[in-house]
A and B are shown apart, each in its own frame.
Chain A
């Protein structure tokens, strides 16, 4: 046990030394003066929350921040509450926000007076992927079987997912458009709930993130049909991608951090450095490969450009899905 403990300390020291070296000289001047508030755009227990809390634990364990990072859930109104809160925090150096795709979709769907261009991008930690799942007891083995089965159900096919207007429903509407399907979309509170209902046979398919369905997949209860990714996912080497099957269906979920408008550049540099340290962390890298997350680190103007490009893409997706 003592051994273990000293090893941890050694690791932590090594990590912080590496971090110090990586930091630009200017950033070394600024340190958080008080605990940093990490606003989470989702409620407790969901995928976004779990990931944000994982980051917090690694940051604390490896002492990546001079002050504790305190997660606060503001999941109300699909993140509308968090976005409004961040808007009011203009110029605050001690608030960062963990985002997901509702970062674009929520302001697009309802007018909440928030323009995401104003916020300061910090870092994109990962891109989560989507996979089409069915219950392992069903006869559906591939995409053709799936499309045939949905068509045969004549509109009664039950697809489970997260709230309407959120990621899963967009992927579902992409499927409907591509294959000319008519699907009944049943919204659930979170991805875990969806996976459980799929295993229990209360719904017939889902587009869960791999991390949400992985446990059931390993237990042989769920079957992946196709992945909405450009390349095959390492964890599911036998599952074809939609692109391979001749359908241009690619969708992903970003997991990024942003800060309020007008945060001091030194503070921005500090947090970017903190997330760089996190990105280099072994534990995080192991987690991403196990959970089929794509740890695609991105910061600064490139990240802002990515956000805006994604927002335009979602604007099209939303008008397509709500128009149908």
Chain B
């Protein structure tokens, strides 16, 4: 009951007219920043942090929460409309969001993404409210071995995501993993794969650069060639009927929703993992559990709902280790942590005891911001859909400019802009030859985590490989991954056995 009292105090502040205004502004700004390819919540939080020293601290927290949520919702928008994931967390959203937009169902996809994000965010905030303190111990139980097992699990859930050509899928996974090793070897502290002695490679190849190159430039080149400059997407219309239909459809997916939210929250809570593996696992599992898995990747609403629920839940979850342990799980939470230090707060185990006003103020602003974000997002969908009705060449030219500028912005290096063009052309050629792109991009995201935790464990365990299986948590994850890995194989074999006698089969 003490908890409710704190929360009520928090709500009292977050619902004042000034704060409501701040929430709306923050959410709208966050949405647009998140919708830009290349920009995400990091940029949003970075710009408002200095502002937070001007407004009173309670409003500052609300502003930050609003930007944070706005940007999370916004990530799905460029994934769906342009097919460019604005952040690694939104890669999985492109799998079905993009086909839906191409079929003229962009509005429906955006509605689904917004509602799913809302549900994921809400469930996650509730879990946060109820169990924040005890859950910190779960995060502590995760050492390198568990991290490795979790990443492996995330990998196996998307084994089935590649094309039909297994060789080409393996090729792309390995290429992504190899690209992820560029830069510095953390363990020995030595640079490696610094091609042509270019200093730009020291910091490795960022996910954004590859994603913008492959999905942004590569995709447009592909469209220019294959569609002879015909419209890239069927003009989308948005009606209330569609909104209602969308909400009804989502209602039926309670299994995906609840699984995505809870799993997302827990995975997001682990400092090293975060929202990307959460979104992937949610997508992979939704596909596994679905009665019509063949629809996934071709514009299934559930394929948008699953990752969006999980990544929003995970982004909320990732605030937990930051607040309770003082460990930022993502660049955005690192910035938030910096901001809290500026306000004279010490994030860490004592925060909940010493600064309950702050903590509960933040939690209640998360509720408010989440609600505001879904409303603003739904209200703006017609604007986003309208953007798709621009003539193809106009849209293309804008996307090219956004890709170049968006690729430059995060690192401020021309090196990355060149890489984007290079990846764009390379990705276009590979795509033409039926190499699947999703495994490449995801391997690049998960690769560094996987190598680092694998080698840390082996060093700590004196080279004992069995350490992964012997530890209870990591052993369990590895067992589940083996099952996930074998499931599609079993299906393949079954299908193959069933098909083999048929002579028409080539």
Q: Do chains A and B touch in the complex (CB under 8 A)?
A: yes
Q: Are A196 and B325 in contact (CB under 8 A)?
A: yes
Tell yes or no: A61 within 8 A of B by CB: yes
Q: Is A189 positioned at the interface, with any CB of B under 8 Å from its CB? A: yes
Cα-based distance from A110 to B200 in the complex (angstroms): 16
Contact B188 A164 (CB under 8 A): yes
* Contact size range, A: 35 or more
Asked if B203 lies at the interface with its beta carbon under 8 angstroms from chain A, I say yes
A234 on the interface (CB 8 Å rule)? Answer: no
Task: Find out whether the CB atom of A189 lies under 8 angstroms from the CB atom of B202.
Answer: no
Residue ID in chain A nearest B204 by CB atoms: A76
Majority secondary structure, A binding face? helix
| CB–CB B349/A202 < 8 A | no
Query: Which residues of chain A are within 8 angstroms of B239 by Cβ–Cβ distance?
Result: none
- Partner of B346 from A156, A195, A215 at Cβ < 8 Å: A215
A188 touches B456 (CB 8 A): yes
Distance, CA A84 to CA B99, complexed state (A): 44
Task: Give residues 198-221 of B contacting A (CB, 8 Å).
Answer: 199-204
Which of B117-125, B138-146, B424-432, B435-443 forms contacts with chain A? B138-146
Q: Which of B139, B272, B330, B459 contacts A184 (CB 8 A)?
A: B459
A72 to B46, CA, bound (A): 12
| Residues A214 and B346 in contact in the complex (CB < 8 Å), given A54-B341, A196-B325 | yes
Measured CA separation A2–B320 after assembly (Å): 32
Cα A88 to Cα B17 with chains together (Å): 51
A237→B301 CA distance, assembly (Å) = 60
CA distance A98 to B50 in the complex (A): 19
A180 within 8 A of B: no
Q: Are A57 and B271 in contact (CB under 8 A)?
A: no
Q: Whose C-beta in chain B lies nearest to the C-beta of A158?
A: B460
B residues 135-165 near A (Cβ < 8 Å) are 139-145
Collect the chain A residues with CB atoms within 8 Å of residue B189's CB: 78, 109, 163-166, 169, 187
From known contacts A163-B186, A221-B349, infer whether A81 and B200 are also in contact, taking CB-CB under 8 Å: yes
**Cβ–Cβ contact A76 & B326, under 8 A:** no
For residues 324 through 373 of chain B, which have their beta carbon under 8 Å from a beta carbon of chain A? 325-328, 330-331, 333-335, 337-339, 341-342, 344, 346-351
Q: Are B334 and A45 in contact (CB under 8 A)?
A: yes
Contact B334 A202, beta carbon cutoff 8 Å: no
B235 to chain A, nearest CB (A): 40
Whether B456 pairs with A219 at a CB distance below 8 angstroms is no
Q: How far is the CA of A283 from the CA of B53 in the complex (A)?
A: 13
- Shortest Cβ distance from A56 into B: residue: B50
Please tell me if B56 contacts chain A, counting CB pairs below 8 Å. Answer: yes
Per the 8 Å Cβ criterion, residues 213-233 of A in contact with B are 214-216, 218-219, 221
A203, B183: Cβ atoms closer than 8 Å: no
Assess whether B341 is in contact with A196, with CB atoms less than 8 Å apart. no
A218 and B350 within 8 A (CB): yes
| A216 and B349 contacting across the interface, CB-CB below 8 Å | yes
Instruction: Verify if A315 is at the interface (C-beta below 8 Å from B).
Output: no
From known contacts A197-B143, A215-B347, infer whether A77 and B341 are also in contact, taking CB-CB under 8 Å.
no
Cβ of A259 under 8 Å from chain B: no
B104 within 8 A of A: no
Question: Nearest Cβ distance between residue A7 and chain B, in whole angstroms?
Answer: 12
- Closest beta carbon of chain B to A15's beta carbon, Å: 14
In the complex, A251→B47 CA distance in Å?
36
Answer whether A202 and B144 are a contact pair too, CB < 8 Å, given A50-B338, A61-B50. yes
Knowing A1-B56, A53-B335, A186-B460 are in contact, say whether A81-B186 is a contact too (CB < 8 A): no
Pairs A–B under 8 Å by Cβ, sample size 10: A1-B56, A44-B42, A54-B338, A77-B194, A81-B199, A184-B459, A186-B456, A187-B186, A214-B346, A215-B351
**A contact set with B: CB distance below 8 Å:** 1, 4-5, 8, 43-45, 49-50, 53-54, 56-57, 60-61, 72, 74-78, 80-81, 84-85, 109-110, 155-156, 158, 163-166, 169, 184-189, 192-193, 195-197, 199-203, 214-216, 218-219, 221, 283, 286-287, 290
Q: Contact residues of B with A, CB < 8 Å?
A: 42, 49-50, 53-54, 56, 139-145, 183-184, 186-191, 194, 199-204, 271-272, 321, 325-328, 330-331, 333-335, 337-339, 341-342, 344, 346-351, 412, 452, 456, 459-460, 462
